[in-house]
Amino acid sequence: MGGVLRASDDDFRVDEIPSYEPCGEGEHTYLRFEKRDMTTPYAITQIARALKIQARDIGYAGMKDRHAVTTQTVSLPRVDPERVSAMVIPGMRVLSVTRHRNKLRTGHLKGNRFELRVRELPDGVEASLARARSIAEVVGRAGVPNYFGEQRFGRDGDNAAKAREWLSGENSGPRDPHQRRFMVSALQSQLFNAWLGARVRDGLLDAYVEGDLAARGATGRPWLITAEDAALLYPTGEASPTGPMFGRSMDRPTGAAEAREEAVLAEASLDRAFFDRIGALAEGTRRLARVLVEDLSVTAEGDALLFRFTLPSGAYATVVMREFGVSSASATPTVETGSADEHPTMQPELASTGADQAKYR
């Protein structure tokens, strides 16, 4: 289909869907706000400065892009709601202020609702709309590979490489503990993308591999699925295979599924002992191989196509849009965004997603 995403910040809107609503009482003040042209860490810094509190005391559920119009919620400890409502920060708009009992933490998030405009359609609006709706029918039914997007790999896309250098003793690594965990997470994510890319290339995204650990939804506990159960649950999306976020506490598959994970480590010249040595920095977990895209619709809007859909927490809208052959016009990297084309570590992800376009023809 083609086209350009994010020609302006207004073309990329994200609304956070909370796991719960504030109850109206308690020592924490929940601020829901809209921001433009700023990362979540920068927004938190500005809020802390305006209210004269410590940024580390502010809770949030997830990160949001800089080059977008996004809404999200943060929690503020022991701050008068009236002070929060009166706060004025350029590029930010207060939407609601409500008290709650607990601090908001990473993961207190059901998902995100996206509204994206794609412009510069090479085949015009009418032909592109027909093509997009054909692809959307497949995506809505089968889901998409649950790759980590470029945002995961840092501003210059090299956090995974830096993590390897640091953990191999080639440099001292960052001092900040949050940055250390972020870098290790980038390495885990790169290995997951490599595992997923191999599975997609082999036609196994929603096919059973002996020894698979499957899960029902992003928060479901993985279990050793049988071939018979996979034949029933994989095609409907009720369950999906899971892949490795390597670490000492990660559940391990068996048989052929385990061999595929060992092959990813061997290709990267790593082993499980490497992650055992770094301990708490990489506890490890499982991640779904595919993500289901809910409420997906495509409509024409002037000279653009408007995409609306909802994703669970941890899934990436840019990964969904690659299924439509859409590229991002955002050329300036930020803390949360980087260009995959400029960084070889991301190429397996792009190659396998692009190859998957054949199923829409």
pLDDT tens by residue, 71-110: 999 999 999 999 999 999 999 999 999 999 999 998 899 9
Contact 309, 320 (CB under 8 A): yes
CA 148 to chain centroid: 6
- Please give the pLDDT value at position 114: 98
Cβ(104)–Cβ(60) below 8 Å: yes
Of 10, 11, 15, 65, the active-site residue reads 65
CA distance 41 to 120: 32
Superfamily of domain 1-17+112-361: TruD, catalytic domain (3.30.2350.20)
Check if 1-17+112-361 and 20-106 are the same fold: yes
How remote is the C-alpha of 119 from its chain's centroid?
Answer: 23
Residue 330: predicted pLDDT: 55
User: Which DSSP string do the residues of 270-293 spell out, in sequence order?
Assistant: --HHHHHHHGGGG--EEEESEEPP
- pLDDT greater than 80 at residue 240: yes
- Decide if 65 is catalytic: yes
- The predicted pLDDT at position 360 comes to 37
Identify the residue whose tokens are 């409500």.
98
Superfamily grouping for domain 20-106: TruD, catalytic domain (3.30.2350.20)
> Given this model, what pLDDT does residue 157 score?
85
Question: In whole angstroms, what is the distance from residue 284 CA to residue 111 CA?
Answer: 22
pLDDT above 90 for 6: no
Can you name the residues that pair with 294 across neighbouring β-strands?
310
- Domains of the chain: which residue ranges? 1-17+112-361, 20-106
Residue type, position 309, single letter: F
* The pLDDT of residue 151: 80
Long-range pairs, 124-127, Cβ under 8 A, ≥24: 125/300, 125/303, 125/304, 125/305, 126/300
Could you tell me where the DSSP H helices lie in the chain?
40-51, 81-85, 124-142, 159-167, 177-201, 227-233, 255-267, 272-278, 317-322, 347-355
For 241-295, write each residue's pLDDT tens digit.
999 999 999 999 999 999 999 999 999 999 999 888 888 888 999 999 999 999 9
Please tell me what DSSP assigns to residue 320.
H
